[in-house]
Every structure is written in C-alpha cells, then in structure tokens.
Amino acid sequence: MKVVFEGRKFRVLSGEVTLPSGKRVIRDIVDFGKSVVILPIKGDDVFIIRQYRPAVGDWIYELPAGTLEEGEDPLECAKRELVEEIGYEAGKLEPMFRMYLSPGYSNEYMYAYLATQLEYVGEKPEYGEEIRVVRMSFDEALDMVRNGLVEDAKSIATILYYAFFIRGGEGDI
Amino acid sequence: MKVVFEGRKFRVLSGEVTLPSGKRVIRDIVDFGKSVVILPIKGDDVFIIRQYRPAVGDWIYELPAGTLEEGEDPLECAKRELVEEIGYEAGKLEPMFRMYLSPGYSNEYMYAYLATQLEYVGEKPEYGEEIRVVRMSFDEALDMVRNGLVEDAKSIATILYYAFFIRGGEGDI
C-alpha cells in the first residue's frame, strides 16, 4: 500500500489488498494507531467531559481519551490523558477491555482503563482542546447513555462494560 | 477546509477550524458520513459475523453493519445490510441509539437498530466482503464481550445497550 495522505494525527494508505480467499481488492485505510479511554470513578461518581469536536462540529459528552505518543505505552498514556483532561491522578489504573473503533477503514485500536483512587492535581489542557469537566453520579451517566445524551461509541461501550461486568458485583477484572 | 484525499468510502478534509473560544487550529478530518449497525435477535439467539478486515489485518467478530448509500435512509440501509450480510429479513426494525465512532477525527455517525421477527431469505455478500455468520445464544455473545473476544466498539456498545436497557425487562425503546 502507498501513503496517499500524511496528516497530523493519521495518514491514509491506499492500494491493493489480498483477502484470505485470495481475492484482491482496492482499499483506503486510515493508519491511526493506538489510543486509550479512561473511566474515572470516585466513590459513586464518574467524571465525563464535554468537548468541542471540530470533526462533528458540536460539543459532545465523552470519557477522557487520547492517542499514544511515540514510544508511549497505553498505561502511561491513560495516566497522562487523565491529568491533562480532568486534572486527576489515578492511584489505580486497571485494564478493562480493548476495541477497534472503525475496523472497516481505520486501524485505530483502543485500550479501556478503569481509574480509581483519584487525587486532584489540576488540568493541563492541550492547545486547541476545549473541554468542560462534569462530575456526576454513575447512575446519571447511565441515564445519559440510555437517553442518547452520550453519543460516543467508546464512552457508551466503556460505561456499559463497567455497569454490566464490574460494578454489578460479578466484578473482578 | 480543502479536500486533500478523495477515496472510495471516505474523503479527507484539511484546514483551519475556528473553535468556540475563537481560537484557530489546523485539523484533518475523515468525511465518512452515516452508517448503521444491527442487532439481529431470534428467540434467545443473536447473529454475529466473523469478518476479515483488511484495515486491521485480521478476522474480527462484529454485528452486521454498513454505510448508507447515496440518498438511502438509515432504516432502509439496516434492512439491506441485514439481508446482504446474514441473509435474514427483519419483520421489525427498531431504533436503539446513535453514536459517533471516532469523533476526534471522523464525522462517522452510526444508527443502532434492533432487528426481530427474522425470516431467512439468503445472504447476498458484496464483492470483497469475506464473512462467516455465527448464530449463538445472546448469553454466549455477552461472554464474548466480557472475555474480550468481541473487540469492536459498535458491537460492544450495541450488545451491552440491549443487555442493560432492553432485555433486562426495563425494556421499552
């Protein structure tokens, strides 16, 4: 495959791909790499952010998240993004699950972490990130998923994974 | 913004964006459009597909899904993709929720449907789609989410949304 676009956060590859059957097809692929999403839990509360996203032209509710820097491992990245975006350091960061975001055209692969034992150290927003931090009860966050106020796939998946498999009491990860 | 790449399924736009604060930043955006994901339920069973995805170089488990064609509405698209990918026609297709897949760099916006009253009419795979249909109990699918065998954000979100908000009995949508 050939690099047809080289951007700031991703590049685009294009060319012929051989499928398992031997068939050949032309595909365009977003080469994005790895990322993290973090569920920050403090007692019965969760921190969600409301962030302006130029790609969709709107403010949306999301969990804190970010992209791995060169050479960074997912755990370090989760630690860093949590401080940058909500201003809390996590005493405990546990892996929950992993997911492709748009495997039809992007290789983005995301690690979901549960962050607990949170201590406030102050936000460090990156230039161009317009973020408001919202602290609410986890039950309110669940209602926002149910009612369609949270419209972000990684956040819906992560909130519900925690609600269904961890918080319910079955709960070891 | 300027079109910097024109592909088969998406294009890439690049240029200056004004944030709500008035700050200006440069962004690259994947202009993908709208898509659907379908949860096909028959009795206690669900249909999942195992599909080869060139973008990630692997077979992964996913719910049936697809992209709106020119002028198509999401409901028609869900109907069409369900037949193409698993070979069933749905007597009932109900909207569940909507989600952005990667709002950091893509405008893809996906509609999730619950498909019931399924009747077999035969698959019609598109050229280049290598798919195996797997029928399993919904509980097995939940286990696959829990154990990390389902690693696809839209599928995790949709399976858990159904499990938590609909199947549980709270259940009107």
* pLDDT higher than 60, residue B171: no
Q: What is the pLDDT of residue A27?
A: 96
Q: What is the pLDDT of residues A37-90, one digit of tens each?
A: 999 999 999 999 999 999 999 999 999 999 999 999 999 999 999 999 999 999
Higher pLDDT, A146 or B127: A146
Active site residues of A: 129
pLDDT above 70 for B102: yes
What's the mean pLDDT in B101-125?
95
The pLDDT-based confidence of B127 (bands split at 50, 70, 90) is: confident
The CB-side HSE value for B123 (13 A sphere, CA atoms) comes to 14
Give the bridge partners for B14, in sequence order. B2, B28
> Inter-axis angle of helices B153-161 and A153-161, to 10 degrees?
50
Q: Which of B129, B130, B140, B170 is catalytic?
A: B129
Nearest-by-CA chain A residue for B21? A130
pTM listed for this prediction: 0.96
Quick one: pLDDT band at residue A169, thresholds 50, 70, 90? low
Q: Provide mean pLDDT across the span B127-141.
A: 92
What number is the average pLDDT over the span B147-172?
Answer: 89
Q: Rounded to an integer, what distance in angstroms lies between the CA atom of residue A114 and that of residue A173?
A: 10
Cα separation, A115 vs A159, in Å, equals 12
Q: State the average pLDDT over residues A6-33.
A: 95
- pLDDT of A168 over the 90 cut: no
Residue B145 pLDDT exceeds 80: yes
Domain boundaries, chain B: 1-31, 33-167
Determine what percent of chain B is predicted with pLDDT higher than 70: 97
**B33-167 belongs to which CATH class?**
alpha beta
Q: Is the pLDDT of residue A173 over 60?
A: no
> CA A98 to CA A80: how far, in whole Å?
18
- C-alpha to C-alpha distance for A155 and B100, rounded to whole angstroms: 10
What Rg value do the Cα atoms of chain B yield, rounded?
18
- If one counts every other C-beta atom within 10 angstroms of the C-beta of residue A92, the result is 11
Cβ-contact B9, B104 below 8 angstroms: no
pLDDT of residue B43: 95
Which segment of A52-61, A148-157, B29-38, B162-171 scores lowest on mean pLDDT?
B162-171
Distance CA B146, CA A166 (A): 10
Find which of A14, A28, A111, A159 to mutate to test the B interface (most B CBs within 10 Å of its CB): A28
Instruction: Please list every residue in chain B whose beta carbon sits closer than 8 Å to the beta carbon of residue A63.
Output: none
A15 touches chain B (CB under 8 A): no
A172 has pLDDT over 90? no
**Which pLDDT tens digit goes with each residue over A93-119?**
999 999 999 999 999 999 999 999 999
The pLDDT of residue A130 is 85
Known catalytic membership, residue B129: yes
- pLDDT tens sequence across B17-37: 999 999 999 999 999 999 999
Judge whether residue B126 has pLDDT over 90. no
Contacts of A56 in chain B (CB under 8 A): 100, 103, 107, 109
Q: Does the pLDDT at position A25 exceed 80?
A: yes
Q: Is the pLDDT of residue B58 over 80?
A: yes
Tell me what pLDDT residue B168 has: 65
Residue A23, chain B, CB below 8 Å: the answer is yes
- Whether B148 contacts A112, CB under 8 Å: no
pLDDT confidence of residue B22? 93
